[in-house]
Amino acid sequence: MTAESVPKGGTRGSRIAAGPRLAIPARILAVGAYRPGRGVANAELSRTLDTSDAWIVKRTGIRRRCAASPGETVVTMGAAAAEKALAAAGRSVDAVDCVVAATMSYTGQSPSAAVQIARELGAKRVGAFDVSAACAGFNYALDVARSLIAGGSARHVLVVASERMSDLIDPGDRTTAVIFSDGAGAALVGAYGEPGIGPMTWGSDGSLAGVAGQDLTWAHFRDTPGCRGPYFRMRGPELYRWAISEMPAVALRAVDAAGLDLADLAAFVPHQANLRMIEAIADRLGLPGHVVVARDVEDQGNTSAASIPLAISRLKEECAVASGAPALLLGFGAGVAYGAQVIRLP
């Protein structure tokens, strides 16, 4: 093993691991957000689509979403959010051992978005790979980061959730075009004296692939002259009913796994899919009145994997919840795949 291949969190010697070394606690040290400059209000969409501001606000709570410019890519937006997270944590990029990118809209596919984000950051000799879990991507990547640190493979992991959903959305499809949006959120996860990221409860159900997901493969697009897409399609009402009936129990299990009660929570940060759905889940959970419910979706729209770290960033900017307070994160989406965990807010 060369000096370079010894992870910053690892040790030399013959032991692979001693018991306690396998459970180094981790915490989100800081978050960063990147929101594209161009906002798209409901009124703008209603000029090209058969929709209205009143319909969108009533059914989704969304008033505005973001549209990335050509230079705002999954990689550049993700790197910008990561730089902000590093600055907020007071760490240099040299502290980073691994970059884990959560994205469903990186059309480059290989090399991974994470490798390109690491290059953009100037991160040398870091691990880098992507996680594909659609709108639950941040939850999954965060648990990967927690596990890398717990197992001694890394001391600091950059979790970067970045989405350019405008590349996957059919601009003529009013059932998706009014909802999805572009942006990136990042979290610097580091070894910490006490646990700040609880165990994840998760699941998936591939029989619901047709309810939300890409309609065609890239190979189909390549082989079919005149083919438009592939596009992300969604049977919204079915997804809505599934989410509000299934997700409260998943969220409750995550609170239980963290050894907490709902009354201990300070914030609930679910995937920012639709405000009506968020409120229905919060209601079915029976959240106490003091728990702040994230509403970033209202003027950011649904940014898939990026939506949870963007929502955490806004809570921080608004000083809505104290640092160290417990927050329940719940992600769910295409496929379907879902996951939840309780964190201590940075």
**Calpha distance 219→222 (Å, rounded):** 5
Minimum gap (Å) between residue 292 Cβ and ligand COA: 21
Minimum gap (Å) between residue 61 Cβ and ligand COA: 9
Among 118, 239, 275, 337, which residue interacts with ligand COA (rule: CB under 6 A)? 239
Contact call for residue 168 and ligand COA (CB under 6 A): no
Q: Active site includes 156?
A: no
The label of the residue with tokens 């165990």 reads 199
The helix/strand/coil state of 268 is strand
**C-beta separation of 268 from 293 below 8 A:** yes
Minimum gap (Å) between residue 135 Cβ and ligand COA: 4
101: left (phi over 0), alpha (psi -120 to 50) or beta: beta
Q: Active site includes 271?
A: yes
**Calpha distance 325→322 (Å, rounded):** 6
Residue with smallest beta-carbon separation from ligand COA: 236
- In angstroms, how far is the first alpha carbon of the chain from the final one? 35
Contacting range for ligand COA; rule: CB under 6 A; set: 78-86, 123-131, 222-230, 238-246: 238-246
Contact call for residue 213 and ligand COA (CB under 6 A): no
Catalytic residue among 42, 139, 274, 302: 302
Minimum gap (Å) between residue 10 Cβ and ligand COA: 37
Nearer to ligand COA, 158 or 243 (CB): 243
Contacting range for ligand COA; rule: CB under 6 A; set: 154-162, 214-222, 236-244, 280-288: 236-244
Residues 6+ apart with CB under 8 A from 316: 31, 345, 346
Catalytic residue among 42, 98, 139, 271: 271
Contacting range for ligand COA; rule: CB under 6 A; set: 9-17, 78-86, 171-179, 311-319: 171-179
Catalytic residue among 42, 135, 139, 156: 135
Contacting range for ligand COA; rule: CB under 6 A; set: 9-17, 29-37, 150-158, 271-279: 271-279
Strands (E), the chain: 26-34, 38-41, 64-67, 98-102, 127-131, 156-164, 182-191, 201-204, 212-214, 232-234, 267-270, 292-293, 326-333, 337-344
126: tokens are 């870091």
**Calpha distance 74→161 (Å, rounded):** 9
Among 153, 175, 204, 214, which residue interacts with ligand COA (rule: CB under 6 A)? 175
Site string for ligand COA, 120-159 (x = CB under 6 A): ---------------x------------------------
The H or E element spanning position 146 is: helix 137-150
Minimum gap (Å) between residue 338 Cβ and ligand COA: 10
Q: Active site includes 302?
A: yes
Minimum gap (Å) between residue 219 Cβ and ligand COA: 24
**Calpha distance 101→78 (Å, rounded):** 8
The helix/strand/coil state of 66 is strand
Among 108, 111, 237, 259, which residue interacts with ligand COA (rule: CB under 6 A)? 237
Contacts to ligand COA from residues 54-113, by CB under 6 A: 55, 59-60
Query: Pseudo-torsion of CA 340, 341, 344, 346, nearest 10°?
Result: -50
Q: State the DSSP code for 302.
A: B
Minimum gap (Å) between residue 30 Cβ and ligand COA: 26
Contacting range for ligand COA; rule: CB under 6 A; set: 26-34, 93-101, 158-166, 235-243: 235-243
The helix/strand/coil state of 117 is helix
133: tokens are 């879990």
**Residues at the contact surface with ligand COA, assessed by CB under 6 A:** 51, 55, 59-60, 135, 174-175, 178, 212, 234, 236-237, 239-240, 243, 273-274, 277, 302, 333-334
Catalytic site residues? Answer: 135, 271, 302
